[in-house]
Structure 1
Amino acid sequence: MPSQIPTTAPATTPTSTPTSTASSAATPVPVGIQGSWHEVFADEFNGTSLDTSKWNPNWLGCGTCTTPPVNSSEQDAYAPSQVSVGGGSLHLAMAQEPTTVNGKTYPYRSGLVESSGKAQFTYGAFEARIYLPPGSGGVANWPAFWTDGQSWPTDGEMDVMEGLEGQACYHFHSPSGGPGGCASGDYSGWHTYGADWEPGSVTYYYDGKEVGQITTGITSAPQYLILNNGLNSSDAQPVAPSDMQVDYVRVWQH
C-alpha cells in the first residue's frame, strides 16, 4: 500500500477525457519500454460500466460492499458507488460524505478497483494513462496505481505511481524495505505511468521516460492490479470532490 503522506491544496478537476493516441493504436506497445512484448491484459474503459470479470470495485470486499481503506492513515472508505465508467475512462470519484464501516466513520467516500482473484502477474510491463486531480503546485491527495501480492510484504508491492506531497513517486516494498523516489515536475492532469518488472529489477517510466530503477528486494510472487483515489489523514486541505480518471490499463509480458 502507498505508505507516505501527501499534503496538497484544492484545485479544479476537469470531467472530460482527451483522446489518447496510445489508447487508439491498433497494436498497443509499452510507452518507452523497449523489448519484445505480447499483451496479456487490457482494459480500455470504452463501455458504460465496470468490467467485473476483471475488477472488483472496492478493497478486497464483497462486490456490493463499502470497505475500510487500504491503509489506516486514510480518511476515506471505498464504495462501489464511487466507481463508474463513461466517456472512455474509468472514474474513481472522491466525495466529502461521512461513511461508517465496521463501526468506524470516515469523513470521505472514494473509489478503488483491484483485480485480486481475477488477474495477477509475475513480471512484465505495467502501464496506465491516468488523470490526477491537481493540488497546489502538483498532484492532489493520495492517488495511486500499484500492484500487490496476496501476502504483504512477503510477496511484494510495486508502486508504479503514488501522489505524495504533490509529487508522483514510485517504490517497491518487500520484507527488506521500500526503496523508491519521486519524479521531478508536475504530474497532475493526464500522464502515462509504466513499470518494467524483471527478475531482480523494476524500472519506472513516466510519459515514456525512465525516472528510476530499483534493484533490491524485488520479489517474484504474482501481484494483482490496484488503482485508488486515496486521501491521507494528515492532509489538511483535501481536494474533494475530485475525480481520478483512467484512460486504460495494460500489461504485457515477454
Structure 2
Amino acid sequence: MTSSAPSPTSTSASTPTSSATSTTAAAPVGIPGTWNRVFSDEFNGTSLDGSKWNSNWFGCSGCVTKPVNSAEASAYSPSQVSVSDGSLHLKLIEQPTTVGGKTYPYVSGLVNSNGKAQFTYGAFEARIYAPSSGTKMANWPAFWTDGQNWPTDGEMDILEGLGGSACYHFHSDAGGPGGCASGTYSGGWHTFGAEWKQGSVTYYYDGKQVGQITSGITSAPMYLILNNGINPDHSGTNVVPADMMVDYVRVWQH
C-alpha cells in the first residue's frame, strides 16, 4: 500500500516505542526461532484501544482523512472502525465523502500505531478475514508497516490484496520488489506474517513461507497499519459494502 506522499514526522519528541511490556509468548505461526512478544492487540474489548491505535490516516484525532494512496477511492473515517465479537472491523461502504475539497465515492476504516508503537526488526503477524469476491480477495485490504520518511525509511507490505491476489512487497529508495502468493486467502481466517531482519524480509501466509526479499531492506523503525481500501481500477474484484476483520495483531522480537 504505497503512500502517496512521505509520512509526516511523528509529533512525539522522541522515537515512539511500544508501551507494552515484553512477555514470553508462543512463536508466530511458522516462523522459526525463539521470540518474545513486544506488542499485541487481541481486540477482545468493545472499542478500539486508543493507547495503541489511531483510527484514521494522518490528520486531527477523530477527523475524516484522505486516502493513503492517490489510486484509492475511499476516505477514512473513525466511524468505520469498531471492535466487537473479538475482532477489529474496518468497514467499507458507499458514501460520498469530501476531504480537502475532493469527494470520494466511498468511506472506509483504517488504524495505525504511529506515535504509539513502532519497531525495528522482528516478527509481525495478523489473523485476518479479508473481503472476498468468489475465490479472490476483494478490494484493496492491507496489513503493512511504514517509516517516518517514505520511502527512505522503508515500507513493508505483509499483505496487500491486489487484483484478487494476496501480495507482499518491500518499498525503499532502491525500489519495491515483491510478489503474490498462489492459493486462496479470502473467504476465511488466515494468518499473514513476516520476519524482518537485517538484510531480508521473509513472508509467511498460514505458516508457510511464500516469499523473501533481500534487496533494499531498511533498518529504520516502522509503525503498524491495517486498512480496507478500494481501487476503482480493480472493478472485477471490488465488493461494497465490505468488512475486513482482524482477530489479532502481534509483534515479537528476539
TM-score, length basis structure 2: 0.89
Query: How many matched pairs?
Result: 232
CA RMSD of aligned residues (A): 1.2
Q: Does residue 217 in structure 1 map to residue 219 in structure 2?
A: no
Q: Is the 8 A contact 1:136 1:166 kept in 2?
A: no
Aligned to 1:240: 240
Q: Is the 8 A contact 1:47 1:88 kept in 2?
A: yes
Q: Is the 8 A contact 1:60 1:116 kept in 2?
A: no
Aligned to 2:136: 138
Aligned to 2:250: 250
Q: Which amino acid aligns with 1:95?
A: I
Q: Does residue 198 in structure 1 map to residue 213 in structure 2?
A: no
Aligned to 2:33: 35
Q: For residues 215 and 236 of structure 1, what CA distance do their matches in structure 2 show?
A: 33
Q: Is the 8 A contact 1:68 1:78 kept in 2?
A: yes
Q: Mind listing any 5+ residue stretches in structure 1 that lack a counterpart?
A: 4-25
Q: Mind listing any 5+ residue stretches in structure 2 that lack a counterpart?
A: 4-23
Aligned to 1:14: none
Q: Is the 8 A contact 2:126 2:249 kept in 1?
A: yes
1:236 deviates by 2.5
1:34 deviates by 0.5
Q: Which amino acid aligns with 1:51?
A: D
Q: Is the 8 A contact 2:163 2:234 kept in 1?
A: no
1:251 deviates by 0.2
Deviations 1:209-249 (A, max 9, x none): 00000000000000000000000131325211100000000
Q: What pairs with 1:60-75 in structure 2 (closer than 5 Å)?
A: 60-75=58-73
Q: Which amino acid aligns with 1:253?
A: Q
Percentage identity across aligned positions? 72
Q: Which amino acid aligns with 2:93?
A: A
1:62 deviates by 1.6
Q: Is the 8 A contact 1:122 1:223 kept in 2?
A: yes
Larger relative contact order (Cα-Cα within 8 Å, sequence gap ≥ 6)? 1
Q: Is the 8 A contact 1:195 1:204 kept in 2?
A: yes
Aligned to 2:20: none
Q: For residues 205 and 183 of structure 1, what CA distance do their matches in structure 2 show?
A: 10
Q: What pairs with 1:60-139 in structure 2 (closer than 5 Å)?
A: 60-139=58-137
Q: For residues 2 and 183 of structure 1, what CA distance do their matches in structure 2 show?
A: 19
Aligned to 1:12: none
Query: What secondary structure does 1:95 align onto?
Result: strand
Query: What secondary structure does 2:30 align onto?
Result: coil
1:27 deviates by 3.3
1:190 deviates by 1.1
